[in-house]
């Protein structure tokens, strides 16, 4: 059995929902994971932010606007009167709940409940639509089986057991629809897998029952060799290894949630990226096979903080780096890039929640410099470090200031740290230097 995930654009209009129906209705039993309709999660986040800022009236207006949008969509989607009425009643309950939230005081748990509504709405509507169209489908509530532990990692044994229970309890059905993104946390409160998390839901479910394949259906024909939002002339890559895809996702290729391939790589479950608007396009197949060599793709991750730790006296002393790493360990902050010289070590983090506390500790043992608003540009491909054409990337040094380079940490990845304001220029120039000349 396969798991197919459809993103926000794929369920963002009645026309696209009808495309999704055609794609999934091939007679085969499958699990279908849906995101919220595009724009909904952003709007729900904005509602939560208004509540946090004490702007209850702005929140109420946003709730009402979104409700109106859903009523219009339901009228377009469901011409069956009974289904139309039933779905509108459900949707009204959701918006009544959101309306109530606007007068509550802000808590993280309240925000999590608010942002969870997007996936609950889209799956309820789409399930009704399939019923109207005579397609046999059932809803599997994600909150009945999807859970994260104290470290915010999927609780895989719980998920396996409960997914099987929910699945087996459901009468024979061709399509099993569930919500992406949402889950329970270790305390049983509603939580989520972070923005873009529906991809992760799909691979967690795929791993839970060792699916034949996980498909991520989106609005583009697969992983491109550079960020199509910023660079002209990008093209899709047909095949990626799990390692390559994991690096690209982790280092900012928005098409995949950073953790997407983690659950499936051990069991070698292939992940296929496909375009809902162009189902015949090949897309990208992510598997344990490596193909081609040289730099295949470039991605960039923003919001990076660089920390330089200088200590002429101590750097060469045994145990200095250990002390530094222990500080990051204490604050559960992972380090992405690291370079050293005789007198200093520079490293980067993307989670600056505990930055002040980390700096206070580091200042006890060294002199610290901090640069915010940095971006990591990551170049990925099989054995890139050894490839004859890789030197061409260093032409970038004539165009932008590079703060750090990580070369040789793995055979498949070279990372550059730059000021975020140089990102678009860097991506475009690297594209020109590398892909105009190197056959991908």
Binding site for ligand ASP (CB under 6 A): 7-8, 35-36, 41, 118, 180-181, 195-198
Distance CA 270, CA 263 (A): 11
- Cβ(300)–Cβ(397) under 8 Å? no
Residue 432 DSSP one-character state: I
258 near Mg ion, rule: CB under 5 A: no
Q: Give the number of C-alpha atoms closer than 13 A to the C-alpha of residue 61, restricted to the C-beta side.
A: 5
In the complex with ligand ADP, the residue whose CB is nearer, 112 or 198, is 198
180 near Mg ion, rule: CB under 5 A: no
Cβ 9 to ligand ASP shortest distance, Å = 10
Cβ 280 to ligand ADP shortest distance, Å = 18
Helix (H, G, I), strand (E, B) or coil at 179: strand
In the complex with ligand ADP, the residue whose CB is nearer, 112 or 218, is 218
In the complex with ligand ASP, the residue whose CB is nearer, 245 or 347, is 245
The listed partner (ligand ADP, ligand ASP, Mg ion, none) that binds 41, CB under 5 to 8 Å by sort, is: ligand ASP
Distance CA 26, CA 185 (A): 35
Candidate ranges 6-14, 128-136, 207-215, 375-383; the one touching Mg ion (CB under 5 A): 6-14
Q: Between vectors from CA 216 to CA 214 and to CA 217, what angle results, nearest 5°?
A: 135
Cβ-based neighbours of 394, under 8 Å, separated by 6 or more: none
Which residues would be at the binding site for ligand ADP (CB under 6 A)?
7-10, 35, 196, 218-220, 223-224, 227-229, 253-255, 299
Cβ 228 to ligand ADP shortest distance, Å = 5
Cβ 251 to Mg ion shortest distance, Å = 16
Cβ 412 to Mg ion shortest distance, Å = 23
In the complex with Mg ion, the residue whose CB is nearer, 278 or 421, is 278
Cβ 64 to ligand ADP shortest distance, Å = 25
Strand partners, 287: 241
Q: Which alpha helices (DSSP H) does 140-283 contain, by range?
A: 156-169, 198-208, 242-250, 262-265
Scan residues 185-214 and list those touching Mg ion (CB under 5 A): 196
In the complex with ligand ADP, the residue whose CB is nearer, 87 or 223, is 223
Q: Give Cα 42 to chain centroid, integer Å.
A: 14
Distance CA 77, CA 71 (A): 10
381 near Mg ion, rule: CB under 5 A: no
Region for 182 from its dihedrals, namely left if φ exceeds 0, alpha if ψ lies in -120 to 50, beta otherwise: beta
Cβ 41 to ligand ADP shortest distance, Å = 9
Helix (H) or strand (E) segment spanning residue 241: strand 239-241
The listed partner (ligand ADP, ligand ASP, Mg ion, none) that binds 195, CB under 5 to 8 Å by sort, is: ligand ASP
Residue nearest to ligand ADP (CB): 7
- Percentages (nearest 5) of helix, strand, coil residues in the chain: 40, 25, 35
Helix (H) or strand (E) segment spanning residue 371: strand 367-380
Cβ 199 to ligand ASP shortest distance, Å = 6
* The pairing of beta strand 239-241 with beta strand 284-287: parallel
In the complex with ligand ADP, the residue whose CB is nearer, 80 or 219, is 219
In the complex with ligand ADP, the residue whose CB is nearer, 137 or 234, is 234
- Cβ(237)–Cβ(229) under 8 Å? no
Helix (H) or strand (E) segment spanning residue 370: strand 367-380
The listed partner (ligand ASP, Mg ion, ligand ADP, none) that binds 237, CB under 5 to 8 Å by sort, is: none
In the complex with ligand ADP, the residue whose CB is nearer, 248 or 327, is 248
Residue ranges in contact with Mg ion by CB under 5 A: 7, 196
């Amino acid at each position: 059995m396969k798991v197919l995930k459809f993103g926000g654009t794929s369920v963002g209009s009645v026309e696209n929902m009808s495309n999704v129906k055609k794609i999934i209705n091939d007679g085969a039993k499958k699990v279908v994971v849906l995101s919220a309709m595009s724009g909904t999660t952003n709007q729900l986040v904005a509602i939560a932010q208004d509540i946090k800022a004490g702007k209850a009236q702005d929140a109420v207006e946003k709730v009402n606007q979104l409700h109106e949008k859903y009523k219009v969509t339901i009228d377009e989607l469901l011409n069956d009167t009974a289904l139309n009425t039933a779905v509108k009643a459900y949707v009204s309950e959701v918006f009544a709940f959101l309306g109530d939230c606007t007068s509550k005081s802000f808590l993280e748990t309240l925000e999590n409940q608010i942002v969870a509504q997007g996936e609950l709405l889209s799956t309820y509507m789409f399930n009704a639509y399939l019923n109207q169209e005579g397609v046999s489908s059932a809803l599997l509530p994600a909150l009945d089986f999807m859970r994260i532990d104290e470290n915010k990692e999927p609780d895989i044994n719980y998920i396996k057991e409960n997914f099987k229970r929910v699945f087996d309890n459901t009468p024979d059905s061709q399509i099993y629809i569930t919500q992406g993104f949402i889950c329970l946390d270790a305390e049983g409160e509603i939580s989520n897998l972070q923005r873009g998390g529906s991809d992760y839901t799909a691979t967690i479910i795929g791993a839970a029952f060792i699916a034949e394949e996980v498909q991520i259906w989106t609005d583009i024909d697969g992983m491109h060799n550079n960020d199509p939002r910023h660079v002209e002339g990008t093209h899709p890559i047909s095949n990626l290894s799990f390692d390559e895809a994991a690096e690209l996702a982790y280092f900012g290729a928005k098409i995949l949630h950073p953790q997407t391939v983690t659950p499936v790589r051990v069991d070698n479950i292939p992940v296929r990226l496909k375009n809902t608007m162009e189902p015949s396009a090949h897309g990208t197949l992510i598997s344990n096979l490596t193909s081609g060599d040289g730099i295949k793709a470039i991605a960039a991750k923003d919001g990076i903080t660089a920390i330089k730790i200088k200590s002429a006296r101590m750097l060469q002393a045994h145990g200095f780096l250990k002390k530094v790493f222990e500080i990051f360990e204490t604050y559960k902050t992972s380090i992405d890039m690291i370079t050293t010289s005789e007198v200093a070590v520079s490293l980067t983090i993307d989670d600056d929640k505990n930055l002040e506390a980390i700096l206070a500790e580091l200042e006890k043992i060294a002199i610290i410099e901090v640069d915010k608003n940095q971006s990591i540009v990551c170049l990925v491909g099989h054995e890139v470090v050894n490839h004859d054409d890789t030197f061409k990337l260093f032409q970038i040094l004539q165009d932008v200031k590079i703060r750090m380079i990580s070369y040789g940490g793995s055979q498949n990845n070279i990372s550059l740290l730059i000021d975020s304001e140089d990102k678009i220029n860097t991506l475009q120039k690297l594209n020109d230097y590398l892909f105009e000349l190197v056959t991908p």
